[in-house]
Amino acid sequence: MDHPRPYVVLSVATSVDGHIDDTGPDRLVLSNEADFDRVDQVRAESDAILIGATTLRRDNPRLLVNSARRRDERAARGLPPYPLKVTVTRSGDLDRDLRFWHHGGDKLVYCPDPAVPKLRERLGDLADVAGLGPDLDFGVMLDDLGRRGIGRLMVEGGGTIHTQFLTAGLADEIHLAIAPFFLGDPDAPRFVNAGRFPYGPGNRMTLAEARTIGDIAFLRYLPEGRAVSLSPAPPSRSEDRRWLSLAIDLAEQCPPSDTAFSVGCVIVDADGSEISRGFSRERPHFHAEESALSKVAPDDERLPGATLYSSLEPCTRRSSRPRPCAELILDSPIRRVVVAWREPPVFVADAHGVQALEAAGITVVEIPELADAASRMNAHILGL
Ligand SMILES: NC(=O)c1ccc[n+]([C@@H]2O[C@H](COP(=O)([O-])OP(=O)(O)OC[C@H]3O[C@@H](n4cnc5c(N)ncnc54)[C@H](OP(=O)(O)O)[C@@H]3O)[C@@H](O)[C@H]2O)c1
Ligand SMILES: [Zn+2]
């Protein structure tokens, strides 16, 4: 029977000058909190995570899905709460005290045949040890992972490992997170070592996504130009503009007020169909997002793929009701928000809905060219 090779996602964080670590004894932090959360999500979407033996020895990571919610979601899909953890070694020098073996789910070590007895003796029942011949070929390893039912493999480095996947043309996606600093140390390890990469100047990769995650630039490349995505592609800019314009039109229906903004909101599913809509004061004291959210069951299965469009940035502080809209959104399964207008400091001095949502890993898209339209019906409040 034929088992397809897993879809391979290489994940790496680098400095602006391309280093993945420094040469000091302490662990170098490249990502920020929201980016670590993004990585946690990619781990949760994977069937297996692979790292090289040097990274295991040097960083001693546990390599877990840290979010209990994500582990629960995996369990609900009939998956083990943690992906399979995989490492590769030639030397077999892997200590049984490493954290890798003592946290999370199943572990698997690939090595050339000669290292098998030593590793089995060292690790006992801590891990499954698989020899794949006199040498370890990554293509053969992917075949074996496919036979084990691994559909999606996340590779978390280090550079030696990434280099082999890329030079062999075995990577389907690269997730590159760039931290806003330089290291400037020529001895610091890099994302990849020297090699013959199929993706030179004559064979440009596809840039599938570029996203801002706080101070991190997140880039997603498709070396072979094709993606197998778990969820449908996010709406295009023109679809976003269309739905956001509807949210702005809805704000015209708000009962007039001098003490609160007029805002409209629409929630749209991944297929581009409306789930619900709302506007400010549709019910006494209601905000637009609150109103739209109140019309959907919290466990509606369309929500995880949905986008919430709001003419104004969701609020983070309220006097009239217990919970601000940013919090209501974070409590919902919605993971994408599109806004036209940032809240001006009229009623609260420190509105920061966009920031709060992004910090929690929500994708926030701003369409500033619609900000004027969104603020127009609030001209009397703004003193315009
Ligand atoms: N910023 C990031 O995103 C990130 C992520 C991960 C790691 N890192 C950093 O990367 C550095 C380590 O990178 P690295 O390139 O030196 O090491 P690595 O890629 O983590 O591991 C290399 C080791 O993996 C084993 N190996 C590699 N290819 C093999 C093959 N074909 N067959 C069998 N075993 C194979 C060998 O283990 P043996 O030596 O046991 O034979 C080899 O020494 C660390 O500084 C770490 O902090 C950074
Ligand atoms: Zn609100």
Ligand nearest to the CA of 189: 1
Q: Is the pLDDT of residue 229 over 60?
A: no
pLDDT, tens digit, for every residue of 167-188?
999 999 999 999 999 999 999 9
Specify the pLDDT at position 52: 98
Contacts of 308 (CB under 8 A, 6+ apart): 265, 266, 267, 289, 292, 293, 329, 334, 336, 337, 338
Nearest atom, ligand 1, residue 92 CA: 40
**β 128-131/107-111 pair status:** parallel
Distance CA 178, CA 213 (A): 10
Are 200 and 271 contained in the same domain?
A: no
Residues 258-262 have a mean pLDDT of: 93
Higher pLDDT, 7 or 318: 7
On whether residue 1 sits in a domain, the answer given is no
Residue with CA nearest ligand 1 atom 40: 89
- With 0-12 / 13-18 / 19 or more C-beta atoms within 10 angstroms meaning exposed / middle / buried, residue 68 is exposed
- Name the residue with tokens 């003796």: 121
Q: Is 92 left (phi over 0), alpha (psi -120 to 50) or beta?
A: left
Q: How far is the CA of 242 from the centre of ligand 2 (A)?
A: 22
On whether residue 232 sits in a domain, the answer given is no
The best mutation among 31, 160, 187, 190 to test binding of ligand 1, ranked by most ligand atoms within 8 Å of the C-beta, falls on: 160
Distance CA 188, CA 178 (A): 16
Work out the number of other CB atoms within 10 angstroms of the CB of residue 276.
17
Q: Is the pLDDT of residue 4 over 80?
A: yes
Task: Write the DSSP symbol of residue 66.
Answer: -
Work out the number of other CB atoms within 10 angstroms of the CB of residue 376.
15
Distance CA 155, CA 20 (A): 14
Q: How far is the CA of 259 from the centre of ligand 2 (A)?
A: 13
Are 261 and 197 contained in the same domain?
A: no
Given a contact cutoff of 8 angstroms between Cβ atoms, the answer to whether 207 and 172 are in contact is: no
Q: Is the pLDDT of residue 115 over 60?
A: yes
Last residue of a domain, one of 198, 222, 246: 222
Q: What confidence tier does 382 reach under pLDDT thresholds 50, 70, 90? A: confident
Given a contact cutoff of 8 angstroms between Cβ atoms, the answer to whether 332 and 304 are in contact is: no
Specify the pLDDT at position 271: 87
- With 0-12 / 13-18 / 19 or more C-beta atoms within 10 angstroms meaning exposed / middle / buried, residue 211 is middle
Q: How far is the CA of 157 from the centre of ligand 1 (A)?
A: 6
On whether residue 302 sits in a domain, the answer given is yes
Question: Residue 23: which domain range?
Answer: 7-222
Give residue 206's identity as a one-letter amino acid code.
T
Residues 66-90 have a mean pLDDT of: 94
Contacts of 7 (CB under 8 A, 6+ apart): 151, 152, 153, 172, 173, 228
Q: How far is the CA of 320 from the centre of ligand 2 (A)?
A: 10
The count of domains in the chain is: 2
Q: Is 119 in the pocket of ligand 1 (CB under 6 A)?
A: no
Last residue of a domain, one of 190, 222, 254: 222
Q: Is 324 in the pocket of ligand 1 (CB under 6 A)?
A: no
On whether residue 230 sits in a domain, the answer given is no
Q: Which of 119-128, 227-236, 261-270, 283-292 has the lowest mean pLDDT?
A: 227-236
Residues 66-83 have a mean pLDDT of: 93
**Which helix or strand (DSSP H or E) is residue 239 part of?**
helix 237-251
Residues 286-291 have a mean pLDDT of: 97
Given a contact cutoff of 8 angstroms between Cβ atoms, the answer to whether 104 and 127 are in contact is: no
Task: Look over the chain and give the mean of its residue pLDDT values, rounded to a whole number.
Answer: 93
Specify the pLDDT at position 141: 97
Are 156 and 114 contained in the same domain?
A: yes
Are 146 and 246 contained in the same domain?
A: no
